[in-house]
Each structure stands twice: as structure tokens, then as C-alpha cells.
Chain A
Amino acid sequence: EADIYQTPRYLVIGTGKKITLECSQTMGHDKMYWYQQDPGMELHLIHYSYGVNSTEKGDLSSESTVSRIRTEHFPLTLESARPSHTSQYLCASTRGSGQPQHFGDGTRLSIL
């Protein structure tokens, strides 16, 4: 079983608030990813990281930002939340080199 943790699991918050979604993994994986998923729908890559101090935009444009200061930690931040940001956010990591991506259980975000 992969060890990748996301907090909080659920967040309901008002418009205009700053939000940080946490993602941590204990596997020492260099590559980490953030996906956005509406319930039951496909996953869209919004950010990824090759390793410490590396961040890249994904295939789906997002107003969120990410940072990678430590290998195990890949937080996602929304500076000013809007209702359009309501979705589920999934974090994943992999060792790469043909190894699978392991996913956390996600944060379900609702912006009122």
C-alpha cells in the first residue's frame, strides 16, 4: 500500500479565502502531481514536479500554485478561492522509470 496523504479530506469555505491543500508522501518519490477531478469524471493534470525546487504547469490551466521545498511535501495553494474552484483535488507520486503513480484519497473542496 502506497503512503501518500492528503489533508484536509473535505473543506467548505467562503469566497476570497486563501487555501492550502497539503500532500505528503513517505516513499521518497521524486515526481509528484496534482490532478483536478469532478466527481466520477476524468482526471486533469494541473501541476507536477520533477523534484525539489521544480514545478511545472499541467495540461489543464489552473489558478492554483504549488511549491516543492522538500521531497516529501507538495502543497497546492489558492490565493483567493472562488466557486469555480469547487472540485476534488488528487495528489499522486511516482518513482518514475515505468513505475505506477500512487494516489492519495483527495481533498473535496467546496467554495461557497
Chain B
Amino acid sequence: QQQVKQSPQSLIVQKGGISIINCAYENTAFDYFPWYQQFPGKGPALLIAIRPDVSEKKEGRFTISFNKSAKQFSLHIMDSQPGDSATYFCAASIRDSSYKLIFGSGTRLLVRP
């Protein structure tokens, strides 16, 4: 019940295309859903995050869509660029005193020029 399931494992997109990464969860106590971007040799960096009272959040080319009833959320990268090539992780946390994050297994995105 603590898992966050992420798909696909890898994704290849042409420059200018839309990249879509999906995550699903079981624990209805999760109330914070961030997406992290990680480049080789670097730590994960927060990309965008959403709370379950909002169905969509957009920041530049990045959009999170959230479906509370289906317990699913997804990241859309519009106009994908070669510089977006990285590993993306979804995560979820419960608003308790620990603020622990449960991470998905990651999606390796390659954007071809």
C-alpha cells in the first residue's frame, strides 16, 4: 500500500513531441505528489508538485494531471527538448511529522534531436 508504481521504464521521444509518464498509488493518505528530475551524476531536483485538491498544475512546459478517484497522476512534458533527457521520478508523501517520500521506480527519457 506504500508503493508508487511508475511507467514506462524508458521513453524515447522526438524533439518537439509530448512526453507522458504515469504513476499510480494505493494509499489514500498520500497528500503531496512531487516529480523529480535527475541528470547523471546529480541528485534529484524538484520539477513540479501537486496536492490532491487540484486536478492539474502547469509550470512552463511541464504539467501534472491528477485523478484522485483513479489514484493516478501523470507528468506531461510539452515540446520536449534534448535537454529534457534525464530520469524522472514521481513520488508521494503523507503529511505526517516525517514528511517521508515514497518514490516510483523512475523513467529514463531520451529526447532525440
List A residues at the B interface (Cβ < 8 Å). 31, 33, 40-45, 48, 50, 56, 58-59, 90, 92, 94, 96-98, 100-106
Contacts and interface: CB of A to CB of B under 8 A. Distances in A.
B80 interface: no
A41 to B, nearest CB: 7
27 contacts: A33-B101, A40-B106, A40-B108, A41-B105, A41-B106, A42-B89, A42-B103, A42-B104, A42-B105, A42-B106, A43-B101, A43-B103, A44-B103, A48-B100, A90-B44, A96-B99, A98-B51, A100-B34, A100-B46, A101-B34, A101-B46, A101-B99, A103-B36, A103-B44, A103-B45, A105-B41, A106-B42
A98 B98 contact: no
Contacts of A58: 100
Contacts of B100: 33, 45, 48, 58-59
A43 B97 contact: no
A106 B43 contact: yes
A45 B92 CA distance: 13
- Considering the complex of A and B, which 3 residue pairs feature the smallest CB-CB distances, nearest first? A103-B43, A100-B46, A42-B105
Nearest to B95: A98
Contacts, number: 58
B87 interface: yes
A59 B45 CA distance: 21
Interface residues of B, number: 26
Contact of A104 (B43, B95, B101, B104): B43
Given A33-B100, A50-B98, A100 B43 contact: no
A105 B43 contact: yes
Given A40-B87, A92-B43, A96-B97, 14 more contacts: A33-B100, A33-B101, A42-B103, A42-B104, A42-B106, A43-B89, A56-B98, A59-B2, A90-B44, A97-B99, A98-B51, A104-B43, A105-B41, A106-B43
